[in-house]
A = this chain, B = another copy of it.
Amino acid sequence: MRKTSLAEMPCPVARTLDVIGEWWTLIIVREAFLGARRFDDFKGIGIADNILSARLKRLVGEGIFERHPYQAHPERFEYQLTQKGRELLPVIGALRSWGQKWTTGRTLNRMTHEACGHEVSVHLYCQECRRPIGGQEVRAERARESLTAAG
CB-CB nearest in chain B for A93: B124
Given contacts A23-B6, A98-B88, contact A148 B108 (CB under 8 A): yes
Shortest distance between the CB of A33 and any CB in chain B (Å):
4
The residues of B that contact A125 with a CB separation of less than 8 Å are 120-123, 125, 132
A76-113 interface bits toward B, Cβ cutoff 8 Å, 1 = contact, 0 = none: 00000000101111111111111111110111111111
Shortest distance between the CB of A114 and any CB in chain B (Å):
5
Secondary structure type dominating chain A contacts: mixed
Contact (Cβ within 8 A) A111 B140:
yes
Which of under 10, 10 to 19, 20 to 34, or 35 or more describes the interface residues of A?
35 or more
Shortest distance between the CB of A102 and any CB in chain B (Å):
5
A33-49 interface bits toward B, Cβ cutoff 8 Å, 1 = contact, 0 = none: 11100000000001000
Integer count of this chain's copies in the complex: 2
Shortest distance between the CB of A12 and any CB in chain B (Å):
3
Contact (Cβ within 8 A) A129 B116:
yes
- State which of B13, B22, B33 has its C-beta within 8 Å of the C-beta of A21: B22
Provide the bound-state CA to CA distance between A78 and B93, in Å: 31
Contact (Cβ within 8 A) A116 B108:
no
